[in-house]
Structure 1
Amino acid sequence: MARTKDPAVRTRLIERAGQMLRTREPITLRSLVAGTGVSTMAVYTYFGGMDGVWRALRQEGFTRLAARLATVVPSPDPIRDLAALGAAYLHNALDNPDLYRVMFDATFDLEDPAAADDTLHRLVHTAERATRAGRLRADVDPLELATQTWTIGHGLASLVATGPLPRPALAHAIPLLTALFVGAGDDPDRCRRSVEDGWRHLLRPDG
């Protein structure tokens, strides 16, 4: 009879790998299981080997991003919500800088690519709401706008969470996002207010 896998062991090893990333420890088969109370065989049992560990780490990064984006409760103002999703994206990068780096390492496949795609689709759906509400022009491509919004967030996250800029530099997102949404058809003054309101999501301890 096959032995039932314990999800807690898998989680323990992922958390251990994440801790090693934070402390810049080399992650090897033996160093990964050290202090976890499991043998090296567990890495093969739960991940199929070290490549599987890296795939799981990438997936964990997107899982945490999805959870952070889910904290943005849709409001009557879709432009505000787009900015809040950008702020949530940055929150995730700042809270998980090492996982954030691994998320975009395409050397290893994702365990569930569709789940990762869902994080971008949340932005796409919000952009569609903005078009239906008349805040954006009807000819705006929601996927293109979502990708541009993500690009702004990713650029700032890379420079602040894993790069040379201080955290106050995140405020540059406000004029960047405002310019993006105004270029897509929104009213400048109304857009600025919406973006500033959404950006406060970055300042809330629970957001």
Structure 2
Amino acid sequence: MARTKDPAVRALLIERAAQMLRTREPVTLRALVAGTGVSTMAVYTYFDGMEGLWRAMRQEGFQRLAARLAEVPMSPDPVRDLAALGAAYVDNALHSPDLYRIMFDAEFALEDAAAADETLHCLVRTGERAKAAGRFREDVDPLELATQSWAIGHGLASLVATGPLPRPALAHAVPLLTALFVSAGDSPAGCRRSVELGWRLEE
């Protein structure tokens, strides 16, 4: 009879690998399990080896991002909501910087690419709401706008999470997102107010 896998062991190994990345330790099979109370065989049992562990870490990063985006309450103002989703993206990156770094390592396939894509599509749907509300022009492609918005958040998050820029640099998102959304058809004054309302980062 096959043993039931313990989700806690799987989570333990993912967290241990993330911690090792944080402290710049080489993530080897033996170093990974040292001090955890589990054997090297657990890496094969739960991940089919080290490559599977990296795939699981990428997936865990996107799962945490999806959970964080799902916490953002939607309002009657879709432009505010786009900014709020961007702020949640950055918050997630700063709270899980080690998983965030590996999320975009395309060398390792994702376990569930569709689930990862959903994190972008929630921005797309919010952009569609902004079009329906008359905030953006009819010729605006919500997917293209979502991608550009993501790029702004990703760029700032990466530069702050990895150290070159200080945390106050995240305030640059307000003028950058405002310029993007105004180029999509929103009014400058109204857009700025909406973005300022949405761009609220956790302390």
CA deviation after TM superposition for structure 1 residue 162, in Å: 1.2
The count of corresponding residues between Structure 1 and Structure 2 is: 203
Q: 1:165 is matched with which residue? A: 165
Alignment of 1:167-206 (within 5 A): 167-200=167-200, 202-203=201-202
Letter paired with 2:166: P
* TM-score of the pair, normalised by structure 1: 0.96
CA deviation after TM superposition for structure 1 residue 57, in Å: 0.7
Letter paired with 1:125: R
Matched residue SS, 2:154: helix
Q: 1:73 is matched with which residue? A: 73
Q: Does 1:135 align with 2:135?
A: yes
Q: Does 1:64 align with 2:82?
A: no
Matched residue SS, 1:52: helix
Q: 2:153 is matched with which residue? A: 153
Q: 1:42 is matched with which residue? A: 42
Matched residue SS, 2:173: helix
- Give distance in 2, aligned partners of 1:56 and 1:196: 35
CA deviation after TM superposition for structure 1 residue 138, in Å: 0.9
- Give distance in 2, aligned partners of 1:71 and 1:26: 34
CA deviation after TM superposition for structure 1 residue 19, in Å: 1.2
Matched residue SS, 1:37: coil
- RMSD of equivalent CA atoms: 0.9
Matched residue SS, 2:199: helix
Q: 2:17 is matched with which residue? A: 17
Q: 1:85 is matched with which residue? A: 85
- Give distance in 2, aligned partners of 1:8 and 1:72: 27
Identity of aligned residues (%): 80
Q: 2:112 is matched with which residue? A: 112
Deviations 1:5-58 (A, max 9, x none): 111111111111111111111111111111111111110010000000100111
Matched residue SS, 2:164: coil
Letter paired with 2:74: P
* TM-score of the pair, normalised by structure 2: 0.98
Letter paired with 1:96: S
Letter paired with 2:112: D
- Give distance in 2, aligned partners of 1:138 and 1:195: 21
CA deviation after TM superposition for structure 1 residue 163, in Å: 3.6
Letter paired with 1:82: L
Deviations 1:154-187 (A, max 9, x none): 1111111114011100011100000000000001
Q: 2:27 is matched with which residue? A: 27
Letter paired with 2:157: A
- Give distance in 1, aligned partners of 2:4 and 2:85: 39
Q: 1:98 is matched with which residue? A: 98
- Give distance in 2, aligned partners of 1:113 and 1:95: 22
- Give distance in 1, aligned partners of 2:3 and 2:99: 31
Structure 1: stretches of 5+ with no match in the other structure: none
Q: 1:3 is matched with which residue? A: 3
- Give distance in 1, aligned partners of 2:161 and 2:95: 8
Deviations 1:78-136 (A, max 9, x none): 00000000101110111111111100000100111111000000000000000001110
